[in-house]
A = this chain, B = another copy of it.
Amino acid sequence: MKKDLKVGDSVSISKVFSDLEVRQFAEISGDTNPIHLDEAYACESFFGQRIVHGMLLASLFSGLMGVKLPGEGAIYLGQTLNFKAPVMIGERVTASVEIINIRQDKPIVKVRTLCINDQGQVVIDGEAVLKV
């Protein structure tokens, strides 16, 4: 264990994903689902408007864990993602990661990963496991 990590340690980041970012992500990833890109299609859909890709939102967790907590050198072993509510383009979200368990026998930590919107609604809940 390289760092002085404690259960309860947490960090967060707020972000608004723009139309341009969503379009760029669609191009890079090949995820061109019209629910993310096509205004007319999205208007008629279940959500009524275009939404941000779930994996783009989840990358906020990856960024927090890889850069801040546990930080550089952490190796991503697993992630669960429960998508609870859609996030519209231009909507602010806050992603947070919190250490919930540190194994005594191995340098492995479990992290709660949570993303909420400005109404306090959970949009993604899940857990990650990392080698530190």
CA distance A83 to B21 in the complex (A): 25
| A6 cross-chain contacts in B, Cβ below 8 A | none
A contact residues, range? 35 or more
Number of copies: 2
Asked if A78 and B73 sit within 8 Å, CB to CB, the answer is: no
A119 within 8 A of B: no
Asked if A62 and B66 sit within 8 Å, CB to CB, the answer is: no
A33 within 8 A of B: yes
| A41 cross-chain contacts in B, Cβ below 8 A | 72
A29 within 8 A of B: yes
CA distance A32 to B67 in the complex (A): 7
Chain B's closest residue to A125 (CB) is B78
